[in-house]
Structure 1
C-alpha cells in the first residue's frame, strides 16, 4: 500500500488525477501504477463540460463486459453522479481507500457488481460495522478517504502518516532496508540486531522480495558479513533450488570466493544448505575451493567443520555426475 500511495502522491504533485488506474505487480513483488488512459490534468478537471461521463447501469454487470471504464467498486462518487461534478486528485484517494479496505478486510467495501443503484445505496448507508475488520488505528483515516465529500479526504501522503503505518515496526524496518546502503555501519549494526528478532514476523513473500535483496546487496560490506550471512542463509532455507540460484547464490558467490576467519567458519557450517541447492558447476567452481581454503586454515573449529562438509560435497558431486 505504501508503494501505491507514493505513486499516487507523485500524481498529486504533478497535478494529474488517475480516474481509474491499474495496479501492476512486478516479478520482484513491487506494486506499480499503470493504465493512465483515464488520467486528466487538474486544469482539465476544472472544466468537464466537453468530457464524456462514465455510464453505469442500474443492474448487475460483470467487470469483464462493462465498457472501457473503471470498476464501480473503486470509483469515487463524483465520477458517478454526473459529468459536471468536480474531479481531482481526491477521486484517486477515494479509490485508494477502497483498495486499502479490500486488502485489509479481504473483501470489497461497496461490492456493487457495477450496479449504480446498489453503489449509491451501499455508499450512503455505510455503517461502523463495515469497518469492524479494519485495525482501529486506521479506521478514522480510512473513513476520511472514503468520504462522499471530496474536501474531507486527505492527501496521498497524509494517509501514510497514520499511526497504523507510523507505529508499525515492521514497516519501519522495510523502509530502513530500502535505504540500507546509505547508512553507516553503526546504524546498520543496530538495525540488524533488532531485525534478527523481528524478521520471523514477515511472511515469505516479504522476506523474498523486500528483505532478502537489500541483505544480499549488503554482503559486499565485509564488516557486516558476519551479521548478515546468518539471516541470508536462514531465509535461503525456505527457497527452492531455482529461486536460490536466481536470487541468493549470485550474491553469495563473491563471499564464497573470498571469505576468511569467522565468515568462512559460518559458511562452512552452513555448507550443507549451499551444497543441496547449488548446481554442480557452482559446487566445483566456488564451494570446493572454499572448503580447500578451510583445510588450509589453522582454526581447529574450521578443521572440524570442513571434514564433515567434505563428505556431503563428495556425495552431492557423485549424485550430480553424468552417467557414462
Structure 2
C-alpha cells in the first residue's frame, strides 16, 4: 500500500501517547496479485479540484506530478520531507506554487539533483545522509522503511523500550520479569508524558498476573513518585486498589511497606483508611515473623502520617498482639 499523503498534519498522537499515521484518503493498493511485483495506480494531478480533494504537494514525491507514477518509495520521499520539516520549525524543504505546479516540480527536481548536505544543516548529523537519500529524485535510491529502522540514530534506549512494550504480549513471564527489573534504570531517561501515557498503562495491565506484580509494582511506584498528587489519584491509585488486597506473592506486601511514606503522602485520607492501613494491619497479623519484623521496623518512619484514632484503636493493639505472640518481637 502507498499512503500518498504523509505530512506532519497526518501524524497524530493518540490518547495513549502513541504516534499514529492518519489521513488515508489518497492511499492506493497494488493492482497486481500478491505474488507479483507491486504496481500502484496513480491519478494525474487535477488543479481544478479543491485543495481538500488533493494531497499536500509540498510533501509529494516528484514522480507523482512529473511522471504520474508512485510506489512505496514515494512515501519514503514524503518521510524525508517530514523529517526535514521537523527540524526546520515545520517549514517544508520546498514551497510549491499550486497555480503552476508542474513548473514548481520541475524546478524542485533540478534543486533535488543538486541537493547538498549544507541544505540539511538543521538535521542531526547522524541521520543527515539518510534524509538526503530519502529526498533523492530516483525512487530506487531511497532507503525503505526497514532500512530506516536500523539506523543507529533510532536505536535509542527509549525507542527500544517502547518497541519492547509493543511486543509485551508475546513474551513469557521470565522475559517480562527480566525486562521489568531493568526498567527503573530507563524510566528517568524518558519524558514524563511518554511514561504516563505509554508505559504506565502497559505496566498496570500486568497486575492481572500475580506472578508479575512483584516485578511491575516497583516501577509503578517509581512513576508515582514523579507524579503530582492529582495524577497519582487519577491514574495510579485506581489500579493499585486490587493490588492492596493481594496477599500472595508475599513480595507485594514487602514492596508496599517499603514505600509506605509515598502511599500515605499521596493517597487521600479515605483511601488510606480503607485500603492502605488494612494492608499494614494484615502485615502485623501475617504468619511470617519476617513480615511482622519489617512492618515494625518501618512503622516509625511513617507513624506521624497516621491519624490518631487509627493509631490508637487499630495499629497499636495489633502491634501489641504481634509482640505477645512472638517472643523475639517483644524486644523490637
For the superposition of Structure 1 and Structure 2, which TM-score range results when normalised by the shorter chain? Answer: 0.7 to 0.9
Deviation at 1:192, TM superposition (A): 3.1
Task: Please state if 1:164 is matched with 2:156.
Answer: no
**Structure 1 counterpart of 2:182, from 190, 194, 198:** 194
Unaligned runs of 5+ in 1: 1-11, 57-64, 318-324
Distance 2:64 2:47 in 1: 9
Say if 1:274 and 1:88 are closer, same or farther in 2 by CA, change over 3 A: same
Task: Please state if 1:18 is matched with 2:4.
Answer: yes
CA distances 1:270-295 after superposition (whole Å, capped 9, x unpaired): 23333343445533332232122133
Deviation at 1:302, TM superposition (A): 0.9
**Structure 2 counterpart of 1:36, from 24, 41, 45:** 24
Say if 1:271 and 1:113 are closer, same or farther in 2 by CA, change over 3 A: farther
SS in 1 for 2:278: helix
**Structure 1 counterpart of 2:299, from 297, 306, 310:** 306
Distance 2:59 2:125 in 1: 22
Distance 2:231 2:94 in 1: 37
Deviation at 1:26, TM superposition (A): 1.0
Larger radius of gyration: 2
Contact 1:74-1:95 at 8 Å conserved across structures: yes
CA distances 1:35-62 after superposition (whole Å, capped 9, x unpaired): 22222333497554xx451549xxxxxx
**Structure 2 counterpart of 1:184, from 169, 172, 177:** 172
Partner in structure 1 of residue 198 of structure 2: 210
Unaligned runs of 5+ in 2: 33-38, 311-332
Contact 2:183-2:219 at 8 Å conserved across structures: no
Partner in structure 2 of residue 103 of structure 1: 86
Task: Please state if 1:146 is matched with 2:132.
Answer: no
Figure out how many residues of one structure are paired with residues of the other and give that number: 289
SS in 1 for 2:146: helix
Partner in structure 2 of residue 69 of structure 1: 54
Contact 2:133-2:143 at 8 Å conserved across structures: yes
Deviation at 1:27, TM superposition (A): 0.8
Partner in structure 2 of residue 53 of structure 1: 45
SS in 2 for 1:138: helix
Task: Please state if 1:270 is matched with 2:262.
Answer: no
* TM-score normalised by the chain length of structure 2: 0.72
Alignment of 1:246-257 (within 5 A): 246-257=234-245
SS in 1 for 2:307: helix
CA distances 1:101-158 after superposition (whole Å, capped 9, x unpaired): 3335654451527666498276455320233343444333322222122222233233
Task: Please state if 1:282 is matched with 2:271.
Answer: yes
Moved more, 217-226 or 199-208: 217-226
Deviation at 1:208, TM superposition (A): 1.6
Distance 2:121 2:214 in 1: 45
SS in 1 for 2:233: helix
Say if 1:42 and 1:180 are closer, same or farther in 2 by CA, change over 3 A: closer
Moved more, 143-152 or 254-263: 254-263
Distance 2:234 2:120 in 1: 41
Say if 1:105 and 1:185 are closer, same or farther in 2 by CA, change over 3 A: farther
Contact 2:87-2:123 at 8 Å conserved across structures: yes
